[in-house]
Amino acid sequence: MSKLIPLSEAISKFMQDGESLYAAGFTHLIPFAAGHEIIRQGKRDLELARATPDLIYDQMVAAGCAKKITFSYMGNPGVGSLRIVRGAIERGEIEWEEYSHFGMISCLQAGAAGLPFMPIMPTGATDLEKANSRIKRVVDPYSGNELIAVPALNPDVAIIHVQRADINGNSHLWGIIGEQKEAAFAAEKVIVTAEEIVDESVIRSDPNRTLIPGFIVDAVCHVPHACHPSYAQGYYDRDNAFYMGWDEISKSQESVQSWLDEWVYGTRDHAEYWEKLGKEKHKNLEVEELLSAPINYGKY
């Protein structure tokens, strides 16, 4: 049965106040459209997890959606500080839980594999371990040596943006594949947003590229350009100017509020947001085609 529904319906049906969320994508395929829809619907007390909170969580924290944030690098990638989240932590206004990148991704990997924890080799740096009581030591039963253990992360909801999916949620993604697969398998509920909805035969033409099978997906939403100001490999470029501009916007609560009023609350949906960006911006973000060499699966 088709799981294709509008994004607004997917968020209202599957994302509830107080739940935990992993909106996946390491700098690539970040599901901004879904984040904005969560803001529009006024969701509250969410526990947000992402290796890099990025602008998507900075905006959600600014809009008052979050009570907790879990991360491993809290910066504006390539620019500097992530001002809203940083300010909330410095003022003690939000709970937080912190790992290294590998620690964070290992939490998801454990969750995805149905394990209670994942072991990691020690790194010699123990201050974070002292600060985060969920990072523990385990003894390797074979050598007797100590390893680091991080707990499974099983978010209530994962939101994954992909280049193309069929109506059942079978999803192709390529380029930087960060932690999308792990987040989808770790979560209880999975919302997929896609640049394109394609026929199942397109998915079946290249099964190695299917990182997420439809049967773990709860909703599929057709949302072109959903990642702006992040990007979708082969579809549009990263809007670096926006990432730099956010550094200025996020310097005061007033300018953040007026940005949210204009671009999130002031737009009905992501299609309207994208239109509002204008033709010149669309053109700047266009990307020239570069096709891979075809491969032969063979007819058997």
Partner 1 sequence: MTSTFSSAELMIVNSARMLRDGDVVFVGVGQPNLACNLAKRTHAPNLTMIYEAGVIGAEPSRLPLSIGDPTLVSGALSICSMYDIFANYLQRGNVDVGFLGGAQIDRFGNINATVIGNNGYAHPKVRLPGSGGAELISAWANRCYIMTPHQKRRFPEKVDFITSAGFLNGRSERDATGVRGGGPLAIITDLGLLEPDENGELTLTALHPERTAEAAIENTGWDLQVAADLKSTEPPSDEELRILYDELDPDGLYLKRA
| 177: contact with partner 1 by CB under 8 A | yes
- The CA-CA-CA angle for residues 300, 213, 110, to 5°, reads 125
Q: How far is the CB of 300 from partner 1 (least distance, A)?
A: 27
**How far apart are the C-alpha atoms of 214 and 221, rounded to whole Å?**
13
Q: Judging by beta carbons within 10 Å of its beta carbon (0-12, 13-18, 19+), is residue 291 exposed, middle or buried?
A: exposed
Q: How far is the CB of 249 from partner 1 (least distance, A)?
A: 18
Binding partner 1 by CB under 8 A: which of 18, 78, 207, 278? 78
- Give the interface segment with partner 1, choosing from 33-41, 157-165, 170-178, 252-260 (CB under 8 A): 170-178
79 or 271: CB nearest partner 1: 79
| 190: contact with partner 1 by CB under 8 A | no
**How far apart are the C-alpha atoms of 155 and 165, rounded to whole Å?**
22
Binding partner 1 by CB under 8 A: which of 71, 185, 273, 274? 71
Q: How far is the CB of 201 from partner 1 (least distance, A)?
A: 25
Spatial CA neighbour of 70 closest among 128, 130, 10, 13:
128
Binding partner 1 by CB under 8 A: which of 20, 59, 70, 106? 106
**How far apart are the C-alpha atoms of 116 and 118, rounded to whole Å?**
7
- Give the interface segment with partner 1, choosing from 36-44, 81-89, 158-166, 276-284 (CB under 8 A): 81-89
**Residue 228: CB partners within 8 Å, gap ≥ 6?**
32, 236, 239, 242, 273, 274, 277, 285
* DSSP, res 263: I
**How far apart are the C-alpha atoms of 98 and 13, rounded to whole Å?**
29
Binding partner 1 by CB under 8 A: which of 8, 16, 27, 267? 27
- Give the interface segment with partner 1, choosing from 32-40, 119-127, 197-205, 263-271 (CB under 8 A): 119-127
**Residue 125: CB partners within 8 Å, gap ≥ 6?**
none
* DSSP, res 130: H
Binding partner 1 by CB under 8 A: which of 17, 114, 123, 275? 123
| 28: contact with partner 1 by CB under 8 A | yes
| 121: contact with partner 1 by CB under 8 A | yes
Structure tokens at 172: 């192709």
> By the 8 A CB rule, do 81 and 87 touch?
no
Query: What is the total count of residues that contact partner 1 (CB under 8 A)?
Result: 55
Binding partner 1 by CB under 8 A: which of 231, 246, 273, 274? 231
Which positions lie near partner 1, rule CB under 8 A? 26-28, 51-52, 71-75, 77-78, 81-82, 86, 89-90, 92, 98-102, 105-106, 108-109, 120-128, 130-131, 145, 174-179, 181-182, 231, 233, 237-238, 240, 243, 287, 290
